[in-house]
Structure 1
């Protein structure tokens, strides 16, 4: 064949093949883009399962498709698949190491979960792996550093006392999260640091300044604490509570100071008023005299050095005021949110606990545990919301032969406290896994107590070798001991109580074999009555039988006996007359608060003049509020005869 013809044929084949290749590539690209758009649309329509499958198809064809990987992570988050989202983005580190968005998105996920350390480590990895510019990552790290600070209640501490310090990170919600850090002190001869898990205690031994530092990753924060001989710790204001004052009315306030040892401390505080609704007169003995000038609510501030305390003060008028306080950590909100309220106005008061706390009850002019409270304003009110740290119960049980080890024998833990658990099988047994609040085959667990939790450790006897695998039996030897029977499953019974009283158990203990019936008896304290069981079993009788077929938590509720209604107070209405006439009334004895209706009736030739005594009036009929014994005197005068003119 002609060489020239051969060359032309080869060239033709190459042109056709190249065209086919580029056409295939273009079709593939179009297919990927189309699939990606369908995944985005499915996500917008909240068809998460379909969206995830489409995003996964894009990533299989093009592992470096950043938008698809970010989209898939968002889908997993929407579906509650936190770990899948983290895995998807982590794989993106190595597919597209120069793509900042991957690192930033994964860091945001960790930060949103309040895991500052993992978020920081992701940003650090982005700095290490990304070959190009990392301006956005550097910006995120600067923002992270700005949100780190050493938290101390005050910058001064009294000698021979301690102060708690914590390195905290402000999360996206504005909440301060304590972090584990490496702590150091400038001069260990003057003070000492006692380190905890996330907090340290500074023990102040010598007067002067001490520099304390906390290192987290590549960052270091420093705080200077002054150790002084005496430091104001608390004040006592007399009177402790100030009733609303009328305009022109005055009240005299005295203040005493106490140091950290509760010793008297001489202070000359600064007094100030926020809105000038009161005049303040400070006497040489540091007594303050407040005089009400204008109706409204004001704030009185008492300040000495770095100590400051505020209290609300009120000037009375036609409207009424609500004073709120908290015991523990939380806030009280009044709806509508106004400075004062008109009598007869409907309001709501709501208690909102801080993280790790729960609302327990109201005190003051509002009682009980109902939240929110709805009421009608009739007078001034003082309301206190009581919050207590949340406690969660951990119930552990097992099946088979093995042990559960933990760092403490406590069964009740603070909110978000971490507990380490280790399952260890007996010889001849193997650990299968955990059941209950967490299903896992890892024998070593660290659980976070964000709720009451129940965990069941399952152990299984190791399989014996088969006949084919077993060694030949020596019939001259005595037969082996019979196999040890499998241990029954055990379950934990937690008993809680609400109110004053106790619970008797028969049999006693907290761990019981499966199927055991435990008899419970609720015994109220003096002045209290039993109000029912709740939890795993609900019942109204004081005696309760619980069958242990799983971990159980039962709460016995007690309530105060109602106060006996006092006998109604009664008052006497004493009636008398001056002159000639009578007084008509339906009765002489009245309950407190009742109204007595009386009518003066003059005799013929006489006329009624007036009432004397507890009530004065010239009207023959009168209404008397019976809030005490009353004496009423009806005065009659004789009518004068008219004389004829001469």
Structure 2
């Protein structure tokens, strides 16, 4: 056969093969694109289950499809299945170890679920594979917000401070991290573990400086503490009685302090003012004086051994001042922000609660619940924003069919934004079908974020049995050896304390009597038990006859408000009215008194605990007070002759 003819035939076959190969690849690429676009549509429409199925189809056709893998992981994460999200991305890291987006997506998912150290680990792994700058930036962003949380760096001998390694997010939410702790000089102070997870307690032994180190993986943070014989725990101002200062007026100031044992201390604090509306005689010392120079609300601050105390001073003149106070955890803002407002100015005040707290209302010169609130300035305002801690959220779990639910916590109540992991395990002859209720998914293991009350149902269905010919019964086996039944004891707290028990762990033999003790932190007190135990005694005993979950409730110690009285009287003919009814008020209440002369009389001035010639005065109650409005008769000049 002619060689040229044979070669022509072979080239034709190759060409046909290439055309077929290219056609197949084109069709496959088209299918992948269509599948990917459909998956993206489902994800954007929050049809997460459908998007997951479509992304999985894309990866079956092309396991190296980067966007599909990242989006699939995000879909799993949105359903609360963090384990499946992590597994999806880990598979991608094995296929394409230098693909930086897999590490970034994984770290973002971990961080959004407060799994900070896991995020650090995955970013460090990524930097070993690729030097992508985004990984370095993300790692730095996380680690720079990890620190040792400590109230103050000064500790009195034989007294304690609580420490924790924390990560703070962009909204100032804090996450406590597990760490290995050490102290440099144990003769100066010692560390002990608290029952509360991830917290340590430092006890001062003798005077000196000591370094405390916390290590979590590759992260090391340290802090230096000062142990002293006396450490101030409270500072008080001693000032002469005043409502406000006039420009040029001087105010004498003194301070006193008490240490951790309640003994008086000699203090040499530093002094500063916030707005430069006046001048201080000195920047340090136990006594000082302030001279008012400008109208407004000034804040005088003293600081000693890391403890600050503040005194607000109202300076009167032309214009009006707005003063904010806060009860609870949150802050109050004003717009536009000015030191002094003219009468008729329009302002907006807004209360911003901290995470886990909610705004209740305004008190003081304003009593309202509107937030934000628009106001017109007509006088000085003293306003208090009231915040209240949010209630915990309840988790209700139901089952349909035969199976069990494994929980990361046996508690039925959770703090706002707390996570709980649920895993459905079918019984023999059954299979898991889906979750229904607050979360709808076909994934067995899910992580639920408790940002509201949640109710879920795990649905199991019976596996259809295949019909088969009967088989002879197996020989009878000897009865199994009976092992003692064990039950799980889970303990938790709302905040402000810890719980310990003598059960020796969380898995306890049936019939065992366990003693639980609730221990409040400084400034807190125990209130009651909830869950599988009730009562108000801080120590209780329970018998383990089932799985039990016990929660200790603590509350901050409340200092009873001090009440003072104000009495008014007149000299001459006239009357006194005040803006509030009653004669007894909480310390710090501002009372406005107005003197009105009777016909034929005129107002002269005030005497007693307030002196002024203005018929209308405002008094801040800091003790029992008494004022007299003085009137005198008006002489009729027409009858003099």
User: Under a length normalisation based on structure 1, what TM-score does the superposition of the two structures give?
Assistant: 0.62
Matching residue of 1:165:
163
Q: Deviation per CA, 1:451-509: give whole Å up to 9, x if none.
A: 33456799999999x9x98999xxxxxxxxxxxxxxxxxxxxxxxxxxxxxxxxxxxxx
Work out whether residues 389 and 414 of structure 1, in 8 Å CA contact, stay in contact via their aligned partners in 2. Answer: no
Summarize the Cα distance change of 1:240–1:379 in structure 2 as closer, same or farther, 3 Å threshold. Answer: farther
By how many angstroms is 1:267 displaced?
0.6
Work out whether residues 167 and 180 of structure 1, in 8 Å CA contact, stay in contact via their aligned partners in 2. Answer: yes
Work out whether residues 43 and 75 of structure 1, in 8 Å CA contact, stay in contact via their aligned partners in 2. Answer: no
SS of the equivalent of 2:135 reads helix
Q: Is 1:97 aligned to residue 100 of structure 2?
A: no
Q: State how 1:514-553 maps to structure 2 within 5 Å.
A: none
By how many angstroms is 1:251 displaced?
1.8
Matching residue of 2:356:
356
SS of the equivalent of 2:638 reads strand
Larger of the two Rg values belongs to structure: 1
Q: Deviation per CA, 1:115-150: give whole Å up to 9, x if none.
A: 31332233244356x4x6566535543443333222
Matching residue of 1:61:
61
Work out whether residues 242 and 313 of structure 1, in 8 Å CA contact, stay in contact via their aligned partners in 2. Answer: no
Work out whether residues 236 and 309 of structure 2, in 8 Å CA contact, stay in contact via their aligned partners in 1. Answer: no
SS of the equivalent of 2:279 reads strand
By how many angstroms is 1:211 displaced?
2.7
Q: State how 1:118-517 maps to structure 2 within 5 Å.
A: 118-127=118-127, 130=129, 136-173=134-171, 175-188=173-186, 190-195=189-194, 196-239=196-239, 243-282=243-282, 286-367=286-367, 369-394=369-394, 413-417=414-418, 437=438, 449-454=450-455
Matching residue of 2:602:
614
Work out whether residues 232 and 265 of structure 1, in 8 Å CA contact, stay in contact via their aligned partners in 2. Answer: yes
- Distance in 1 (CA, whole Å) between partners of 2:253 and 2:386 is 27
- Distance in 2 (CA, whole Å) between partners of 1:97 and 1:388 is 49
- Distance in 2 (CA, whole Å) between partners of 1:38 and 1:117 is 34
- Distance in 2 (CA, whole Å) between partners of 1:457 and 1:22 is 47
The range that moved more, 229-238 or 134-143, is: 134-143
- Distance in 1 (CA, whole Å) between partners of 2:339 and 2:454 is 44
- Distance in 2 (CA, whole Å) between partners of 1:44 and 1:443 is 20
SS of the equivalent of 1:614 reads strand
Q: Deviation per CA, 1:57-92: give whole Å up to 9, x if none.
A: 654432212244445666788999988765654442
Q: State how 1:563-578 maps to structure 2 within 5 Å.
A: none
By how many angstroms is 1:152 displaced?
1.7
Summarize the Cα distance change of 1:253–1:632 in structure 2 as closer, same or farther, 3 Å threshold. Answer: same
SS of the equivalent of 1:31 reads helix
SS of the equivalent of 1:391 reads coil
Work out whether residues 238 and 253 of structure 1, in 8 Å CA contact, stay in contact via their aligned partners in 2. Answer: yes
Matching residue of 1:7:
6
Work out whether residues 349 and 373 of structure 2, in 8 Å CA contact, stay in contact via their aligned partners in 1. Answer: yes
By how many angstroms is 1:288 displaced?
1.9
Work out whether residues 271 and 283 of structure 2, in 8 Å CA contact, stay in contact via their aligned partners in 1. Answer: no
- Distance in 2 (CA, whole Å) between partners of 1:203 and 1:339 is 44
Work out whether residues 430 and 462 of structure 2, in 8 Å CA contact, stay in contact via their aligned partners in 1. Answer: yes
- Distance in 1 (CA, whole Å) between partners of 2:68 and 2:408 is 44
Work out whether residues 414 and 450 of structure 2, in 8 Å CA contact, stay in contact via their aligned partners in 1. Answer: yes
The range that moved more, 285-294 or 263-272, is: 285-294
- Distance in 2 (CA, whole Å) between partners of 1:20 and 1:178 is 61
SS of the equivalent of 2:636 reads strand
Work out whether residues 111 and 171 of structure 1, in 8 Å CA contact, stay in contact via their aligned partners in 2. Answer: no
By how many angstroms is 1:256 displaced?
0.6
Summarize the Cα distance change of 1:373–1:469 in structure 2 as closer, same or farther, 3 Å threshold. Answer: farther
SS of the equivalent of 2:94 reads helix
Summarize the Cα distance change of 1:112–1:268 in structure 2 as closer, same or farther, 3 Å threshold. Answer: same
Work out whether residues 185 and 193 of structure 1, in 8 Å CA contact, stay in contact via their aligned partners in 2. Answer: no
By how many angstroms is 1:184 displaced?
2.8
By how many angstroms is 1:201 displaced?
1.8
- Distance in 1 (CA, whole Å) between partners of 2:433 and 2:41 is 40
Summarize the Cα distance change of 1:31–1:425 in structure 2 as closer, same or farther, 3 Å threshold. Answer: closer
SS of the equivalent of 2:392 reads strand
Summarize the Cα distance change of 1:384–1:52 in structure 2 as closer, same or farther, 3 Å threshold. Answer: same
By how many angstroms is 1:350 displaced?
2.0
By how many angstroms is 1:269 displaced?
1.9
Matching residue of 1:532:
none
Work out whether residues 43 and 51 of structure 2, in 8 Å CA contact, stay in contact via their aligned partners in 1. Answer: no
By how many angstroms is 1:419 displaced?
6.7
Summarize the Cα distance change of 1:349–1:275 in structure 2 as closer, same or farther, 3 Å threshold. Answer: closer
By how many angstroms is 1:339 displaced?
1.8
- Distance in 2 (CA, whole Å) between partners of 1:43 and 1:432 is 22
Matching residue of 1:16:
15
The range that moved more, 247-256 or 58-67, is: 58-67
SS of the equivalent of 2:126 reads helix
SS of the equivalent of 1:126 reads helix
SS of the equivalent of 1:120 reads helix
Matching residue of 1:636:
638
Give the root-mean-square deviation of aligned CA atoms. Answer: 5.4
SS of the equivalent of 2:294 reads coil
Work out whether residues 114 and 171 of structure 1, in 8 Å CA contact, stay in contact via their aligned partners in 2. Answer: no
Q: Deviation per CA, 1:353-412: give whole Å up to 9, x if none.
A: 111222344443334655344443332222232334323153658789999999999865
Work out whether residues 173 and 355 of structure 2, in 8 Å CA contact, stay in contact via their aligned partners in 1. Answer: no
- Distance in 1 (CA, whole Å) between partners of 2:38 and 2:409 is 49
